Structure 1
């Protein structure tokens, strides 16, 4: 593999060390955006307390967040074609840090709208990171192992997710939960002080996250990356590449499947704490958050197990099997709300584990490098499913109850099953 700015010949050992450092930094990004994504699950509960929100209003946390992904994915792809993978990564980290720092004034002003704007900026940065890092991992090695390699890199994403939930559980959640009657009995000043304190709880964690992201941006800027990661693409022929993609049925169906997958994952995790407290009344928020932590742990285990299984089974076959199992698990959570319904939703995380990277890699297929850069933008845009379907779940929950809202991810998994079966048939043909 060729390396950028290699003015002198270097030994294979030096090249190997450089490649390892670059790959390690890329993999670390999966950790960083996993933390941001799953802190949202904590924020939904926290803002529901701090601003007296309905389920639908609290779900706007995810809507604002994933709108950033949707609107910035194409600009991220354009920047990646213009400045290379590494340039896009640095832009993404800058936006991520800026959004995290915005949490400080948002809390100081106790402004829900400013929090949503900060989340939009963070997600805009993550759109650059995911648009760049996912396809970069697929090209850094043999094409035949691209799906397995991306699943391996994505295995570090749940570590960040778990860290995000633990940070929220221990440094954001106060453990103070007043009933509506208790709030009504407070004086106006005491009630506002409570709301302000709950809002301010997010300041320090997000300030620290912003500083960590800045440090990581500096490390990436100073690290030598493979030429693939820094070279510019031919800016001509963009319409040609777009036309090819829109004529590629496998790619288009992968975008649709990814939309429904992200909606299912984000929806289940966003409302899991709400499901626990709604179906097992009296469960404290910190205890309910333990189930979210457990979900992320089994999600991580599923990533490693699924990656290992792909050595023996085709990725599309595993995707179909896991989607079918999750249809059954989420249906159980609807029909039997309560403790065993909670267990079913936790178990569903194991089988969700390989879906995102597998759909992503199958969608890229045998596309060339320029096509991959553009295609990855659309696959990241599909993350808007987390905004649309989570809001839909909130509306269903407000109208029919939180257990009924799990019908949305059930339908999502049915769509994924259809995509997996079609892909498997084409591969066997």
Structure 2
């Protein structure tokens, strides 16, 4: 008798595929921000520290939009949440037109903020949405599978950025044209999704039937912040995205200054690092069939502590290859922290999702600190993410104790 839970059910396939495509969309925009970071340094003549405000605009939107997105989703449902997110995403992309015409860094930051509000809404909706499309025992696998396509988008972003921005006209016209196309594509996707019928969903987080437990949820009357594993997940996600934001923001600078690559070639290596992240997510999805996700999370965090130590030494190709491997070990962290934080949250799942999304603000704060160090030595800036990975290791290592229902 095969008691292995299914990955999903046939009735959810169309919706699952569509929602998975959303992960691809915000993967493109997230890594495109890192290409813009370097491009603005050159075209608008700003420092590394000031260019880090690109990441602050993007990730700050996650902090602002986290709770409103959760409230909207709770009142109007997952489908309406997706449509709101796509609308904001498209509007933000079209706002690149006046920003480019005015050659305004503040204008670009405003456009990125609106676009990222859409990304934040999609992220708040998509994770519990994907988790609900089947048995909770396979929710970690589904979320990691969907997040793997975020990695695909992460590959496309720097490749497109290299071809259109770095190798095109060294001005803002190419940026404007690129984001007009992005805005139009997102608008078409929103119209298509409006006609997709979403089957009735039963939130699988209401009953603890995950990989670790089949017992009913204990202490269902707990307040949101009395769930220790959820609180630690918010903290871990903040540090996780802080490490991501800083690592990605200065990748091209590292390639240019330490490895003496052109910006276009450094951008191509950035795309390769996204391939590493995609491989890591598919590998992680497979390994979670045999290794508890919280244990795998702790192991990958230790891997990145080692990688950051090597990168910070500026050893040439050894350090640069380690910089690529940071994304391999980083791969499972965001979706796994998200999924572990939502375990056994019952009716509070959607609210919990909003707070975990708010933790993404770390990605806007950390690049500012790394930028100050990178102004003098970009390699030494990579000592800072070690703090973040230590926090993530502690979350994974202590998860069983934090969530008493995990056995």
Q: CA deviation at 1:21?
A: 1.7
Distance 1:141 1:17, change over 3 A: closer
CA contact (8 A) 2:161 2:267 kept: no
Aligned residues: 381
Whether contact under 8 Å (1:317, 1:424) holds in the other structure is: no
1:303 to 281, 286, 289: 281
Whether the 8 Å CA contact 1:137–1:149 is kept in 2: the answer is: yes
Counterpart in the other structure of 1:384: 361
Query: Does the residue aligned with 2:289 lie in a helix, a strand or coil?
Result: coil
1:424 CA displacement: 4.0
Aligned Cα root-mean-square deviation (Å): 1.8
1:209 aligns with 2:177: no
Q: 1:306 to 1:17 in 2, by over 3 A?
A: closer
Query: Whole-Å Cα distance in 2 between the matches of residues 383 and 242 of structure 1?
Result: 28
Map residues 35-46 of structure 1 onto 2, 5 A cutoff: 35-46=28-39
Q: 1:407 to 1:293 in 2, by over 3 A?
A: same
Give the distance between the partners of 1:119 and 1:98, measured in 2 at CA. 10
Which of these residues, 272, 277, 284, is aligned with residue 256 of structure 2? Answer: 277
Aligned equivalents of 2:124, 2:106: Cα separation in 1: 27
Do structure 1's residue 116 and structure 2's residue 92 form an aligned pair? no
* Map of 2:373 onto structure 1: 396
Q: Structure 1, residues 231-276: CA drift from partner, whole Å, max 9, x if none?
A: xxxxxxxxxx997111111100000000011111121111111011
Aligned residues of 2:132 and 2:202 also touching (Cα < 8 A): no
- Rounded to whole Å, the distance in 2 between the matches of 1:20 and 1:422 is 35
Partner of 2:230: 251
1:260 matched to which residue of 2? 239
Which segments of structure 1 move beyond 3 Å, counting only runs of 4 or more?
424-429
**1:144-293 matches, cutoff 5 A:** 144-174=137-167, 198-228=171-201, 244-281=223-260, 283-293=261-271
Q: For residue 359 of structure 1, what is the aligned residue in structure 2?
A: 337
| Preserved contact between residue 24 and residue 151 of structure 2 (Cα < 8 Å) | yes
Structure 2 runs not aligned, ≥5 long: 1-8, 204-219
**Match of 1:396, SS?**
helix
Query: What residue number does 2:301 align with?
Result: 323
SS of aligned partner of 1:312 = coil
> Match of 2:216?
none
Q: TM-score normalised to the size of structure 2? A: 0.90
TM-score (norm 1): 0.86
Please name the residue that 1:411 is paired with: 387
CA distance in 2, matches of 1:299, 1:271: 17
Equivalent-residue separation in structure 2 for 1:206 and 1:175 (angstroms): 14
Larger radius of gyration: 1
Q: Which of the numbers 66, 73, 78 marks the counterpart of 2:66?
A: 73
The structural deviation recorded for 1:228 is 2.9
Q: Deviations over 1:126-184 (max 9, x none)?
A: 111000010111111111111111111111111111111111010111378xxxxxxxx
1:349-383 CA distance string (max 9 Å, x none): 11110000100000001111x31110000111011
Contact 1:171/1:205 (CA < 8 Å) preserved in 2?
A: yes
1:312 aligned to 2:290?
yes
Structure 1 residue 125 and structure 2 residue 118: aligned?
Answer: yes
Asked if the contact 1:18–1:225 (Cα under 8 Å) also holds between the matched residues in 2, the reply is no
Residues in 1 aligned to 2:80 and 2:221: alpha-carbon distance in whole angstroms: 22
- 2:348 counterpart of 1:371: yes
- The alpha carbon displacement at 1:227 in A equals 2.3
Gap change, CA 1:79 and 1:130, over 3 Å in 2: same
The answer for the alignment partner of 1:6 in structure 2 is none
Contact 1:66-1:384 at 8 Å conserved across structures:
yes
Provide the rounded CA distance (Å) in 2 between the counterparts of 1:389 and 1:242. Answer: 36
Between the aligned partners of 1:55 and 1:170, the Cα distance in structure 2 is 22
2:208 aligned partner: none
Could you tell me which runs of 5 or more consecutive residues in structure 1 were left unpaired when the two chains were aligned.
Answer: 1-15, 177-196, 231-240
Q: What's 2:128 paired with?
A: 135
Match of 2:272 among 294, 301, 313: 294
How far apart in 1 are the matches of 2:202 and 2:147?
18
CA contact (8 A) 2:158 2:271 kept: yes
Shift of 1:18: 5.5
Give the structure 2 partner of residue 86 of structure 1.
Answer: 79
